[in-house]
Structure 1
Amino acid sequence: MKHWVFLGIAIVSEVIATSAMKSSEGFTKLVPSIVVISGYVIAFYFLSLTLKTLPVGIAYAIWAGLGIVLITAVAWFVHGQKLDLPAMLGLGLIIAGVIVINMFSKAGGH
């Protein structure tokens, strides 16, 4: 169960780091740049802890899939990025894929 908490921390840290990257303006702003670097260090550390238990392919698929969806949500709410129907459908498919992996795959290390 601990590996899911570690994976959650990795995902949230990566989302925070990626979201701060826009605010860093090419690493020219100090505070957002520190958030980016710290966030990625935390994300990769906790992802590495997750990989002690979960297979790398499964862990990475969940990390990347949920990261994409969460980053898109942040871009929508914080930066005003607009999403059209194909984008929303694609995000829905990503979420469906993560659910299928977690609920039905025996490869997920449940």
Structure 2
Amino acid sequence: MNAYILLFFAIICEVVATSSLKLSNGFSQLVPSIITVIGYAASFYLLSLTLKSIPVGVAYAIWSGIGIVLVSVIACFFFKQALDVAALVGMGLIMLGVIIINVFSSTSGH
């Protein structure tokens, strides 16, 4: 399977786990706690598979960068956490960095 598809699923698992972590209320709620543990385990497993063909720095930059943006969007819509201009600009720069790595870097494993 394409390493970038695996990375995409690793990111989705991490975002679900992080969102569930918020809902777990300090691991006091059973179902969100279970989703958190399974989500993080799946995410790290899938991330480890991507590292067979994508350099660790590139994979982690993409994984964490996209994860930050997706978790922030979920927090904004589902948890009613506001994002100010500085946060939006910062996330835009993160996404720009991910795009630059994927389009221009010779180390991205394409």
The one-letter code matched in structure 2 to 1:27 is F
- What's the CA shift string for 1:56-104, capped at 9, x where partnerless? 0000000000000000000001000101111100000000000000000
Question: Are 2:12 and 1:12 equivalent residues in the alignment?
Answer: yes
- Tell me the distance in 1 between the aligned counterparts of 2:26 and 2:84: 27
The aligned runs of 1:68-83 (5 Å cut-off) are 68-83=68-83
The aligned runs of 1:1-110 (5 Å cut-off) are 2-110=2-110
Q: What is the Cα-based RMSD across aligned positions, in Å?
A: 0.7
- What's the CA shift string for 1:31-78, capped at 9, x where partnerless? 000000000010000000000000000000000000000000000010
Structure 2 runs not aligned, ≥5 long: none
Question: What fraction of aligned residue pairs are identical, expressed as a percent?
Answer: 55
- Tell me the distance in 2 between the aligned counterparts of 1:11 and 1:32: 18
**Structure (1/2) with the larger helix percentage:** 1
TM-score, length of structure 2 as denominator length = 0.98
Consecutive aligned runs of 4 or more in structure 1 exceeding 2 Å deviation: none
